[in-house]
Chain A
């Protein structure tokens, strides 16, 4: 073999230097420098099928939030329509949301399980009904129960 034809002393030296390298590597790699596999704690994994998606609308700043049927069921999503009462547009108070800048809005549902944010202006609130001075037309379907989850899905939640 080729190894054995080398002079024994050099063989020894080569072997020694190789082993010294090994020793150095072993002692350094055991230093706990982390290539961590997290098994003690996790960010929650996203499940296989996406339960909701956010789709930007081209040409505008708005986004469509789409839920799957399962997602809507888990959230207990409910909707209602904007009505006219006493000459004014009214909608349930539960459909009203404020964004981080303080603007009031609501989530309309142009199609089932698809939601689009629309600004509203509230004149006053009587108990459970919000009387609007400006907003989407009468007959628009808006999200009541589950509006906060749609908001959280759209903007994402930053760690505090």
Chain B
């Protein structure tokens, strides 16, 4: 009833419906042109990252002085945090707080910001904590290489920091610009303690002089820390502001002229120290054009920003700046993910255009009627555009996963359109041939409702099939959510369109003129052949069973041979190479090695460009020390992708003494999300572990404070759990260590000279790292003034030991005399989680389930005694837990049962439902075999394609059996070979049309191969083709045969209650008149004449007998009232 009334209303208001449809198409297409496009969806859980720079601090001191106060006092306890973890590396404290999925990202940032305001209590060794801007899942938008040709690297850094970066930050969508290789200008006052001693000057005199000479100083013990303001003078008429100019002191020469405190003006700064322009020690570097003098700017974007727009915005900003940056070359081609998106879009567009042309040709060939072809050509894109428009209104970016969902729904969309239109044409043809007097509207209404009623169940089955994907939880759930969304929207849109627009268009177009409702010549020729083949086939149901059995067995047998890889591997031309040297490697060494590898890689034919970053940058996304570097290799578009990749891997594998890995940048983006909870990069690969960052499934985390004690406890735990049944290969994961110079002041010796440990520290800090004594302001920029030791003072371990310290009584003492200076070891990076240091003991569990193994380990560990403030936690780090595998499997089982129940409801017979249900795997087997032929792999596209095949197979089964049942009820056909032949014969045309159309539409995607943009759709198309073959054969041959064999006992029940799908029960009187259940008379007994006409018209057969029992059976079976 509902369906009929919807169709009736659409027919009545057909002009309005069509106008809305056309309007929707137009609006949709224009709006979608500007829609944000990206390769990956936004699937990062909401997180906030706080970085605190403290150049020169070792990892342990960073942890002690910065990370611990921030974590423990301020950030712990923010509402909604799932995981709080931190990494302390030399010079940087990085704290990451991951919130639960329901938290809004901006609310989370607000809560963290409130806590950070109180961070002024941190010791004055670092810059203030910075909350990094929110970043997209594929955060890097561009890498810009600056090669200073005519200017010095310091000048280039100044330009980059003060001119280029602010301009780029103003581009809409840019969240952050990190500059690698930045050498900030510093005015350095370099001292040598020996020289100072010879001249009788103390270090503190130099510091005071240099600091007080400045306008502003951060050192609170200097007078310059309170610069004061100039004030103003008021005349009777005017107010004159007083301003101080410090122009001369901003150059080394100028500063050198300042007289040193305490020398009565006899000595100047340049006499006791060397005043030069310099830069702070490097925390990282960039390799551009093969040398390490350049800079690399990495531009990152906000979540939801459109990569293409941001890229072009950045290009425009750079072009505007170019005239003023003539001393250096700017290279934007090192890394641009937008080129992948452009390649993908152009490939997809080409494939879609060809598919569209083939669609039109197929429709023309099989429908052979310009009106029906036109209707299909309007309706099929309309469903997809409507779905895409709703997605756009929801604010989602268009990504590869979303497109995959839309692509899979194409099978349903095409079938819906073809089925509706085909049935309308058939009924119109019968009506006109039988000379009927009903209005075209009624015919269209009945035909549409008739076609739609079985398809409602099929649509529900298609919608249910995606439920297990929608149930997936965690990061993989967020990754695949767009798939479920777009698929459901497209299927629903197709349903709505088939109920509203298609009937309206049919009526509108067929009311004009005199349509010639011919059957296409192809169908006319093939139909009789089909009927002949079918008649032979249905006599041998054994053959059908055997063929089904063979197909299913073949499909089952092929399954273990296929490798499922759920994460798509994109043909991304930006390849990332990671290098890691032994901890403690110097920046110069790493830059040299990286530059060398870079030039080797550039020589590979097919590599267009190489740029590299060494170490880290301020607000950068790499939390590493200078022993780590990343090369970005660009493969040129004309090169052989696989061969070039192989050469790159080869060249990287030959590099000695480093740990290396090669991967595409899109895969790296996925792995970065996998690393979010633990800070540890997942192993490269294509399984779900990449998204969840799981290494070993069983982890015992020992929390504590002292690293040595922690190690001991971890070893104890390792011993304990190695005895547990099923636990394999337990090992303690320790952070690697690096050599450091430990300075420990000996209090008694220091006391002899009147020194305190703090004095030793401050002198060493000033001489080795430097102490900032002031800031200079020049040309709207700010630079530091720093006092530090000459390079010879900080060149080797012995020079540290021999450093001279001023004693309070005017003498000097070497550092080695008052302190122990020894090289020792220290952790390279200190990880904390849940506000505590920890050490992991990981193990694998084999031979039993993970849960059982974990509970045994828990039980054993409960008996172990830990020292105060130490404890151990057992974690099952499992991908299955994060995606909630139990729920997925459960929902899959429920879906299977629901499909069975839907089949029963559609076919009104348990036996037939079982029959239909059991033949579904036959169709799927075709897809499996196609996947086997196409490389023995089940990538994401192939797995999704089974949805389409399932949808088609379910439709074919339901509609065929439904048709046969209707024939039994309407025309009172007895169950037999004739009925089946008749029913299948009527199904031949629509099934063949829809199957051929779908096959031709996916053909371009098969032929174009696995190129950029088609990585998901190509295997999907192959599997769909394979599945189409088997499901068509199933629907046309095997299912009729099996129905004939097994369906005899399943007589359709009379439906006494008017069905929601539009089938009404009607009683037939003895004279053939048709009555409603409440007795009122209805129209003439059309069905007989109609079916007779169709019967005669359809097949050119040789003497099959007309149906036996056409005379009405009074009061028996209900009929379909028309």
What is the bound-complex CA distance between A102 and B823, given in angstroms? 5
Tell yes or no: A69 within 8 A of B by CB: no
Known A19-B918, A33-B564; contact A149-B596, beta-carbon cutoff 8 A: no
Residues of the A chain whose Cβ atoms lie less than 8 Å from the Cβ of B583: 100, 160
Q: Are A44 and B652 in contact (CB under 8 A)?
A: yes
What is the bound-complex CA distance between A93 and B655, given in angstroms? 24
* B740 vs chain A, min Cβ distance (A): 7
Q: Are A100 and B736 in contact (CB under 8 A)?
A: yes
Tell yes or no: B397 within 8 A of A by CB: no
What is the bound-complex CA distance between A25 and B552, given in angstroms? 11
Contact mask A77-120 → B, CB, 8 Å, 1/0?
00000000000000001000011111110000000000000000
Contact mask B143-179 → A, CB, 8 Å, 1/0?
0000000000000000000000000000000000000
Residues of the A chain whose Cβ atoms lie less than 8 Å from the Cβ of B802: 124
Residues of the A chain whose Cβ atoms lie less than 8 Å from the Cβ of B508: none
* A52 vs chain B, min Cβ distance (A): 6
Known A44-B652, A100-B739, A157-B581; contact A4-B589, beta-carbon cutoff 8 A: no
Q: Are A34 and B689 in contact (CB under 8 A)?
A: yes
Q: Are B654 and A153 in contact (CB under 8 A)?
A: no
Q: Are A35 and B581 in contact (CB under 8 A)?
A: no
Q: Are B563 and A37 in contact (CB under 8 A)?
A: yes
Q: Which of B545, B649, B824 contacts A15 (CB 8 A)?
A: B545
Known A16-B914, A38-B686, A100-B739; contact A27-B662, beta-carbon cutoff 8 A: no
Q: Are A25 and B556 in contact (CB under 8 A)?
A: yes
Q: Are B920 and A36 in contact (CB under 8 A)?
A: no
Known A15-B549, A35-B564, A155-B582; contact A98-B739, beta-carbon cutoff 8 A: yes
Most buried by A among B653, B661, B680, B892: B653
Tell yes or no: B317 within 8 A of A by CB: no
Q: Are A40 and B686 in contact (CB under 8 A)?
A: yes
Q: Are B681 and A35 in contact (CB under 8 A)?
A: no
Tell yes or no: A159 within 8 A of B by CB: yes
Q: Which of A32, A33, A40, A157 contacts B659 (CB 8 A)?
A: A157
Stretch at the interface among B223-231, B790-798, B853-861: B790-798
Tell yes or no: A57 within 8 A of B by CB: no
* B200 vs chain A, min Cβ distance (A): 25
Q: Are B740 and A102 in contact (CB under 8 A)?
A: yes
Known A37-B686, A148-B589; contact A23-B921, beta-carbon cutoff 8 A: yes
Q: Are B664 and A41 in contact (CB under 8 A)?
A: yes
Tell yes or no: A7 within 8 A of B by CB: no
Tell yes or no: A61 within 8 A of B by CB: no
Residues of the B chain whose Cβ atoms lie less than 8 Å from the Cβ of A46: 653
Residues of the B chain whose Cβ atoms lie less than 8 Å from the Cβ of A31: 468, 885, 888-889, 892
Contact mask A123-141 → B, CB, 8 Å, 1/0?
1110100100000000000
Most buried by B among A4, A22, A51, A101: A22
* B708 vs chain A, min Cβ distance (A): 13
Known A32-B943, A44-B652; contact A25-B564, beta-carbon cutoff 8 A: no
Residues of the A chain whose Cβ atoms lie less than 8 Å from the Cβ of B567: 40
Q: Are A27 and B896 in contact (CB under 8 A)?
A: yes
Stretch at the interface among B232-240, B522-530, B666-674, B1001-1009: B666-674
Residues of the A chain whose Cβ atoms lie less than 8 Å from the Cβ of B654: 47, 51, 70-71, 74
Known A15-B545, A153-B656, A157-B581; contact A42-B661, beta-carbon cutoff 8 A: yes
Contact mask B530-570 → A, CB, 8 Å, 1/0?
00000000000010010011001001100100011111111
Q: Are B552 and A19 in contact (CB under 8 A)?
A: yes
Q: Are B683 and A102 in contact (CB under 8 A)?
A: no
Q: Are B659 and A34 in contact (CB under 8 A)?
A: no
* A116 vs chain B, min Cβ distance (A): 16
* Nearest A residue to B468, CB-CB: A31
Known A27-B892, A34-B566, A40-B667; contact A153-B946, beta-carbon cutoff 8 A: no
Residues of the A chain whose Cβ atoms lie less than 8 Å from the Cβ of B659: 156-159
* B904 vs chain A, min Cβ distance (A): 15
Q: Are B582 and A152 in contact (CB under 8 A)?
A: yes
Q: Could you tell me which residues of chain B, from 735 to 794, have a CB within 8 Å of some CB in chain A?
A: 735-742, 792
Tell yes or no: B822 within 8 A of A by CB: yes
* A156 vs chain B, min Cβ distance (A): 8
Q: Which of B565, B596, B738, B795 contacts A34 (CB 8 A)?
A: B565
Residues of the A chain whose Cβ atoms lie less than 8 Å from the Cβ of B658: 149, 152, 157
Residues of the A chain whose Cβ atoms lie less than 8 Å from the Cβ of B892: 27-28, 31
Q: Are A40 and B739 in contact (CB under 8 A)?
A: no
Q: Are A26 and B799 in contact (CB under 8 A)?
A: no
Q: Are B656 and A43 in contact (CB under 8 A)?
A: no
Residues of the A chain whose Cβ atoms lie less than 8 Å from the Cβ of B829: 160
* A123 vs chain B, min Cβ distance (A): 7
Tell yes or no: A76 within 8 A of B by CB: yes
Q: Are A40 and B656 in contact (CB under 8 A)?
A: no
Tell yes or no: B663 within 8 A of A by CB: yes
* Nearest A residue to B559, CB-CB: A29
Q: Are B649 and A42 in contact (CB under 8 A)?
A: yes
Q: Are B685 and A22 in contact (CB under 8 A)?
A: no
Most buried by B among A24, A37, A125, A155: A37
* Nearest B residue to A51, CB-CB: B654
Residues of the A chain whose Cβ atoms lie less than 8 Å from the Cβ of B552: 18-19, 22
Contact mask B644-660 → A, CB, 8 Å, 1/0?
00000110111111111
Known A37-B937, A122-B798; contact A43-B684, beta-carbon cutoff 8 A: yes
* B738 vs chain A, min Cβ distance (A): 6
Contact mask B582-623 → A, CB, 8 Å, 1/0?
111100010001001000100000000000000000000000
What is the bound-complex CA distance between A100 and B584, given in angstroms? 8
* A55 vs chain B, min Cβ distance (A): 16
Tell yes or no: B1046 within 8 A of A by CB: yes
What is the bound-complex CA distance between A60 and B582, given in angstroms? 24
Q: Are B685 and A38 in contact (CB under 8 A)?
A: yes
Known: A36-B564, A41-B663. 17 other contacts (CB 8 A): A19-B918, A23-B918, A26-B924, A27-B896, A30-B938, A31-B889, A40-B570, A40-B667, A40-B685, A41-B685, A52-B657, A93-B796, A100-B738, A124-B799, A148-B581, A159-B580, A159-B680
Interface residues in chain A, defined as those with a beta carbon under 8 Å from any beta carbon in chain B: 4, 11-12, 15-16, 18-20, 22-47, 51-52, 67, 70-71, 74-76, 93, 98-104, 122-125, 127, 130, 146, 148-160
A-B interface, 10 closest residue pairs, ranked by CB to CB distance from nearest: A152-B657, A34-B687, A41-B684, A41-B663, A102-B823, A36-B687, A149-B657, A40-B569, A98-B739, A125-B796
**A-B pairs with beta carbons under 8 Å apart, 22 shown:** A25-B556, A26-B921, A28-B889, A30-B946, A32-B566, A34-B564, A37-B937, A40-B567, A40-B568, A41-B663, A41-B667, A43-B683, A44-B661, A47-B653, A102-B741, A102-B824, A102-B825, A125-B797, A151-B582, A152-B657, A157-B657, A160-B628
